[in-house]
Amino acid sequence: MNAYQPSVNRSAIMSEQLNDLLYKTAQGDEQAFQQLYQATSTKLFGLCLQMLKGDHASAEDVLQEGFIKIWHNAERFSSEKGHAFSWMSTIIANQARDALRIPKKRAILTEASEQETLEYASQDQQPEAVQEQIQQLYEVQQQLSQLSNEQQDCIVQSYYYGYSHTEIMERTAQPLGTIKSWINRGMQKLRVELPDYRVI
């Protein structure tokens, strides 16, 4: 008779492993950072392609710049506020949003490149939960883009990078009351447009 084998939640194990790698990255562990890149870069590149409409060159730049930010901001991650992949996806998505705000020529998106984007986004048979998470992040970025630049920047610094209102005030050289007003008004708009998005 076979011994009883308890069911294993592979997604939960993977999430814990990513959390651990991100914590080690925060301590300056370059090997952990490389493992983190290997484990997540394909899915995050799919997110970049989706947001940048199949622009490979820009997607590669965004991914590289995003991982640099992940390296420098890893100490701000807290598993109590969410999972490592979600935190990293948010940084990458914000980097893609910033890239879209920079005026530049973009190649006309063909039907073939659209299909290629979908293939990259679904590479490695992502779990439905991850696909849903990426879609939610994309929707948040779309709504963020409707806010003023000041509201966008303050919300991203506060909710995604973990800066306090005082730190944002020092970084932007704006009055504390102005910072709070930008964040509150921006968040009110986001909650109206995204009532089911639990992160905000």
Question: In this predicted structure, what is the pLDDT of residue 129?
Answer: 53
Question: In this predicted structure, what is the pLDDT of residue 9?
Answer: 41
> Mind listing the domains of the chain with CATH numbers?
13-145 (1.10.1740.10), 148-200 (1.10.10.10)
State the Cα torsion 44-48-53-58 to the nearest 10°.
-140
Question: In this predicted structure, what is the pLDDT of residue 199?
Answer: 46
Question: In this predicted structure, what is the pLDDT of residue 123?
Answer: 44
pLDDT at residue 25 greater than cutoff 90? yes
Question: In this predicted structure, what is the pLDDT of residue 49?
Answer: 85
Exposure string for 157-195, b = 16+ CB within 10 A, e = fewer: bbbbbebeeeebbeeeeeeeeebeebbebbbebbeeebe
Residues 65-108 have pLDDT tens digits of: 899 989 988 998 888 777 888 889 888 888 888 887 754 433 33
pLDDT at residue 121 greater than cutoff 70? no
Instruction: Report whether 92 contacts 50 (CB < 8 A).
Output: no
Q: What percent of the chain has pLDDT over 90?
A: 18
Question: In this predicted structure, what is the pLDDT of residue 99?
Answer: 82
pLDDT at residue 114 greater than cutoff 70? no
Residues 30-67 have pLDDT tens digits of: 999 999 999 999 889 888 888 888 888 888 989 998 99
Q: Read off the pLDDT band of 155 (50, 70, 90).
A: confident
pLDDT at residue 135 greater than cutoff 90? no
3-state secondary structure the chain: CCCCCCCCCHHHHHHHHHHHHHHHHHCCCHHHHHHHHHHHHHHHHHHHHHHCCCCHHHHHHHHHHHHHHHHHHHHHCCCCCCCHHHHHHHHHHHHHHHHHHCCCCCCCCCHHHHHHHHHHHCCCCCCHHHHHHHHHHHHHHHHHCCCCHHHHHHHHHHHHCCCCHHHHHHHHCCCHHHHHHHHHHHHHHHHHHCCCCCCC
Helices 176-193/128-144 angle, 10° precision: 130
